[in-house]
Amino acid sequence: SASDITSITIPDTVRMFECSTLDGTASLTELILPRDLIIIKNGSLTNMPLIETLTVPASVSVVNGAFSDLPKMKSITFEGVCPVFVKDSYYGMFANLPAHCVIYVPDDQIDAYKAAFADREDVLARIQPSGKNAAQIDWTAPESDFDFDASTGTITAYNGTAGRIAIPATIGGVPVKTIGKQAFLQRYSLCYVTIPEGVE
Q: pLDDT digit string (tens) for 157-189?
A: 999 999 999 999 999 999 999 999 999 999 988
CB atoms inside a 10 Å sphere around CB 121: 9
How far apart, in whole angstroms, are the C-alpha atoms of residue 167 and residue 158? Answer: 10
Average pLDDT over residues 106-114: 98
| pLDDT score recorded for residue 189 | 85
Higher-confidence residue of 77 and 3: namely: 77
Q: Where are the beta strands (DSSP E) in 33-95?
A: 39-40, 53-56, 62-64, 75-78, 84-86
Span 57-92, pLDDT tens digits:
999 999 998 999 999 999 999 999 999 999 877 778
How far apart, in whole angstroms, are the C-alpha atoms of residue 200 and residue 190? Answer: 22
Does the predicted TM-score (pTM) go above 0.85? yes
